[in-house]
Chains A and B, each alone.
Chain A
Amino acid sequence: AQKVTQAQTEISVVEKEDVTLDCVYETRDTTYYLFWYKQPPSGELVFLIRRNSFDEQNEISGRYSWNFQKSTSSFNFTITASQVVDSAVYFCALILTGNQFYFGTGTSLTVIP
């Protein structure tokens, strides 16, 4: 059963628009971690954020913000005032005890200039 769902396969926005990437996860564990990674067209994977299941505070880092809601099992990622350099595939991942990683299928974001 899929543990991480990124329902948005592809999203296109015009530069300077805000965009939210959805991530819904599934687990019965009470302790778990959630990550977001970015994969630009060059192919490397870039770590963006880690969140544990006990910390529901939202986080903001520049134009990036994350909204973690345990009640809906979601960990959504918002880019404010998008830029062309934000064009990439974004992956959400769930890590359970034992350090096994479960990645979502990714959301491909295209920012149109």
Chain B
Amino acid sequence: EAQVTQNPRYLITVTGKKLTVTCSQNMNHEYMSWYRQDPGLGLRQIYYSMNVEVTDKGDVPEGYKVSRKEKRNFPLILESPSPNQTSLYFCASSWNREIPYEQYFGPGTRLTVT
């Protein structure tokens, strides 16, 4: 089954404790992206990657890191989480051709930073 998986689905942590949210897709998509969803703000893009070893900042990259060492994986790293990073996070992937294709979204990771 074609899918994007994220782990963990729920996470409660404390300020300053480094964490990683994993994202993996099995569709051989070149493009992957991370979003955060907050009430009243919609989805905001954090980082995206057009292909292996190619990453770019989205609208709200501060406080986040990503890496793309393999095509299928695109982990999101919070080196020192803060309460304002409490949010619902989505990973997505799509083909990367000359036009943007529909993105397949993961199920979401609800992160709470206390």
A residues apposed to B, CB below 8 Å:
6, 9, 33, 35, 43-45, 47, 50, 52, 91, 93, 95, 98-106
17 contacts between A and B (CB under 8 A): A33-B100, A35-B100, A47-B103, A50-B101, A50-B102, A52-B99, A91-B43, A99-B48, A100-B48, A100-B59, A101-B35, A101-B43, A101-B45, A101-B103, A102-B59, A103-B42, A103-B43
B residues apposed to A, CB below 8 Å:
31, 33, 35, 40-45, 48, 50, 56, 58-59, 88, 90, 92, 96, 99-105, 107-108
**Known contacts A43-B108, A44-B105, A45-B105; is-contact A105 B40 (Cβ 8 Å):** yes
Which of B44, B99, B100: most chain A CB closer than 10 A? B100
**Known contacts A45-B90, A95-B100, A98-B56; is-contact A104 B42 (Cβ 8 Å):** yes
CB pair B42–A100 under 8 Å, yes or no, is no
Contact residues of A: prevailing secondary structure: strand
Contact residues of B: prevailing secondary structure: strand
CB pair A33–B33 under 8 Å, yes or no, is no
Task: List residues of chain A with CB within 8 A of the CB of B35.
Answer: 101, 103
Q: How far is the CB of A24 from the nearest CB of chain B, in Å?
A: 14
Task: List residues of chain B with CB within 8 A of the CB of A33.
Answer: 99-100
Q: Which of B45, B90, B102 contacts A102 (CB 8 A)?
A: B45
CB pair B58–A106 under 8 Å, yes or no, is no
A82 vs B77: C-alpha distance when bound (angstroms): 41
CB pair A103–B44 under 8 Å, yes or no, is yes
**Known contacts A43-B107, A44-B107, A91-B43; is-contact A99 B96 (Cβ 8 Å):** yes
Closest to B96 in A: A99
